[in-house]
A and B are shown apart, each in its own frame.
Chain A
Amino acid sequence: MEHATNVEQVIKRFPKAGRDSLIPILQAVQEEQGYLSEDAVVRISRHLKIPTSKVYGVATFYNQFRFQPKGKYHVVVCRGTACHVKGSAKVLDMVTKALKIEPGKTTRDKMFSLEVVACMGACGLAPVVNLNGEFYAKVTPMKLHRIIEECRTKERGNG
């Protein structure tokens, strides 16, 4: 319910919104909630009088929107040109296999979530991965695997 009120408050910032405000509203709601919940999409579509299928269709067209809350560990893999040249495809491939999720998704235990971005503007450090705000430079599949394992060990310790 807390979420719901937040969404309503965000929507209220766009009182005379029409179809062309769809993207800004989606961005604002994701900013607030961290993702676009079903409830949020329904509220947005009601506000803009656009069918939910359309709102969802538009939102899935762009990589920036996610539909599950972030995990405790949020992994962002850069797929910009520099990172690509330095082998980010392999890094991404490893992490999707290790976490068993596609970009944009969150693991069932809500521990990890994965995101892919076009460029983080840290090309000198390519390939770059960001974990909960912390940058990791010159990441190899092996290195990232170790980082993920460290997180898991820490969690097991906590549990």
Chain B
Amino acid sequence: MSTFTIEANGQKLEAKKGETILSTLKRANIKVPTLCHIEGLPPAGACRMCVVEVEGSPNLVPSCSFPVAEGMKIKTNSPQVIHTRRTIIELLLANHPDDCLYCVRGGNCDLQSLARNHGVQVRRFRGARNRRDKDISGPSIQREPDKCILCGKCVRICEEIQGVSAIDFLQRGSKSVVGTAFDKGLNVSSCINCGQCIVVCPTGALHERSNVDDVLRALNDPESFVVVQHAPAVSVTIAEEFGMKPGADMDGKMVAALRRIGFKRVFDTSFTADLTIMEEGSELAHRVATGGVLPMMTSCSPGWIKFVETFYPEFTPNLSTCKSPQQMMGAIVKTYFAQREGLDPKKIVSISIMPCTAKKFEASRPEMGRDYTQDVDYVLTTRELADLFRIAGLDPATMEPEAPDTPFGERSSAGKLFGATGGVMEAAVRSVHFLLTGKELEELKIEDFRGMKGSKELHVKVGDLNVGAVVVSSLGQARRLLDEIKAGGRKDIHFIEVMTCPGGCINGGGQPIGTDIEAVKARMKALYQIDRDAPLRVSHRNKWVQRLYDEFLGKPLGEKSHQLLHTHYHKRDVMV
């Protein structure tokens, strides 16, 4: 690729032909504010926040879409640039409800910090305050359209990355809003609750349905026995919420902090990830042996499940009937664990901490429970966990690490890998190989399933069978694959792992706000490191999983498993 030199603020920079000014500046660590730009997607050019001055050009140019040219001389902070940026901010604030003190994003809002950083302290343009109804109908996602600045990021993520298009711009001119078809609640739209729109939203217009208060109430109820589980991706992320560098694993410290808050037991969802591998691996082997529906598709990502039920109901038989690790944990906590401890299941309040907003929806699915109790009562996102820690005045970084509780604290690092795209597949292949051949894989690390790529595949020799394994993350990728299969292609595939969010749970909709791809990669690296160093790296050797089968479940796919650990799906009639 040909490169040349440009100049920015008097500094010489190397630019690549064809890239945008913004990319060049970013590499040189020169910051230009953006509002509508999404890394990796084509520029939208909607907000003009990113304007810079280019010598010889009569007008300011948007750096997110303007290509570099040899010899270009750029100013990113000239008086004209700063004045323009400030005016844009002031115009955005003209109808904005100044609710920062009462807003989920107060202190963590692009609009707020832009205003502060540009010294906006008076309201120069006075428009009528936006008044629009909140949409609190969704099981996971809530919208406050009066805080929306119409940057369009949510619309584009939903369409271009997730292939869902639940929301779009409605009306026009001063009446423009982002909304669903017929401006109905998200709960009756095709939204699959992934929360990717939340992490890209620059304001408080989108957020999760919070359950922090429900959890606090349960913790303070003397009648309740409150247990908590945490998903693999959370421990490698939570540090960032407390200002630390991405990629630190805070597992033990987080366990300690959770105990201080008052959770009676702290369990690791990676334990039920191991359990999932036992059930799902057996299910795959069973389907292959009996001519069942193939390719089998993973079922641990609830956004993906709703996506299939909504857009591709013909593929529901392909979905593994296994509940997700979250729901398996919920189910065995209120049965096996309750019996073991002599507790009334109705008195147990089961909390889970997830990098995911769709998990809230999953926990509320009517299939997920028995005897009028839910498997999992409340789901907190990684962000809400940070809120909870802050309310309690705890900084996990300062805690002495503690071990999780028995019986569901022990995990293999294969279960931990569930947090990143390809991780379920890697864990499954390790165990299916053993289940079918009686031998361990020589090399447990399977490079082809690793990394951020949206679609990965490998044919693995398991005994006599050449297993076709495909891993995709983001529903846009999943859609392409399903369309290929629908058109009669890809007969070579046996097993597909789908994670709803690009890169997997480490980049889930419940993770810290913002789309810092480097942070996501650091979380991924942390998971791989845990796996490299772990003494136990395969699910089928998890002693407590074996004990759970011996003492309670019987065998994988047995009757008890069927009742507690498996579920079913149905076609959804919503406006797609």
Where the two chains meet, the residues of A that have a C-beta atom closer than 8 Å to any C-beta of B are 38, 41-42, 45-46, 51-57, 60-61, 67
Given contacts A41-B181, A41-B182, are A52 and B170 in contact (CB under 8 A)?
no
Contact of B576 with A by CB under 8 A: yes
B154 CB to closest chain A CB (Å) equals 12
- Residues of A close to B168: CB separation below 8 A: 51, 53-54, 56-57
Q: Does the CB pair B171–A60 fall under 8 Å?
A: yes
- Residues of A close to B183: CB separation below 8 A: 56
- Residues of A close to B159: CB separation below 8 A: 51
Give Cα A149 to B325, complex, Å.
Answer: 65
B26 CB to closest chain A CB (Å) equals 32
Give Cα A53 to B171, complex, Å.
Answer: 12
Q: Does the CB pair A53–B172 fall under 8 Å?
A: no
Interface string of B129-169 (1 = CB under 8 A from A): 00000000000000000000000000000010000111111
Give Cα A38 to B159, complex, Å.
Answer: 21
Q: Does the CB pair B182–A38 fall under 8 Å?
A: yes
Given contacts A42-B575, A53-B165, A53-B166, are A61 and B172 in contact (CB under 8 A)?
yes
- Residues of A close to B576: CB separation below 8 A: 42, 45-46, 51-52
Listed from nearest, the 8 A-B pairs whose CB atoms lie closest are A51-B165, A52-B181, A57-B168, A53-B168, A52-B575, A56-B181, A53-B181, A61-B172
Q: How many residue pairs at the A-B interface have CB separations less than 8 Å? A: 51
- Residues of B close to A46: CB separation below 8 A: 576
Interface string of B66-81 (1 = CB under 8 A from A): 0000000000000000
Give Cα A56 to B128, complex, Å.
Answer: 26
Given contacts A38-B182, A41-B181, are A54 and B170 in contact (CB under 8 A)?
no
Interface residues of B in 537-576 (CB under 8 A from A): 575-576
Give Cα A57 to B164, complex, Å.
Answer: 15
Q: Does the CB pair A67–B181 fall under 8 Å?
A: no
A55: contacting residue among B169, B172, B179, B181, CB under 8 A: B181
B298 CB to closest chain A CB (Å) equals 25
> Would you give 6 A-B contacts (Cβ < 8 Å), ordered by A?
A38-B575, A51-B164, A51-B576, A52-B182, A56-B170, A61-B172
Q: Does the CB pair B575–A54 fall under 8 Å?
A: no
- Residues of A close to B179: CB separation below 8 A: 53
- Residues of A close to B167: CB separation below 8 A: 53
Give Cα A56 to B190, complex, Å.
Answer: 14
A61: contacting residue among B165, B171, B575, CB under 8 A: B171
- Residues of B close to A60: CB separation below 8 A: 170-172
- Residues of B close to A56: CB separation below 8 A: 168, 170, 181-183
Interface residues of B in 163-193 (CB under 8 A from A): 164-172, 179-183, 189-190
Q: Does the CB pair B165–A54 fall under 8 Å?
A: yes
A103 CB to closest chain B CB (Å) equals 11
Given contacts A38-B575, A51-B576, are A57 and B182 in contact (CB under 8 A)?
no
Q: Does the CB pair B190–A67 fall under 8 Å?
A: no
Interface string of B188-230 (1 = CB under 8 A from A): 0110000000000000000000000000000000000000000
Give Cα A119 to B184, complex, Å.
Answer: 32
A143 CB to closest chain B CB (Å) equals 29
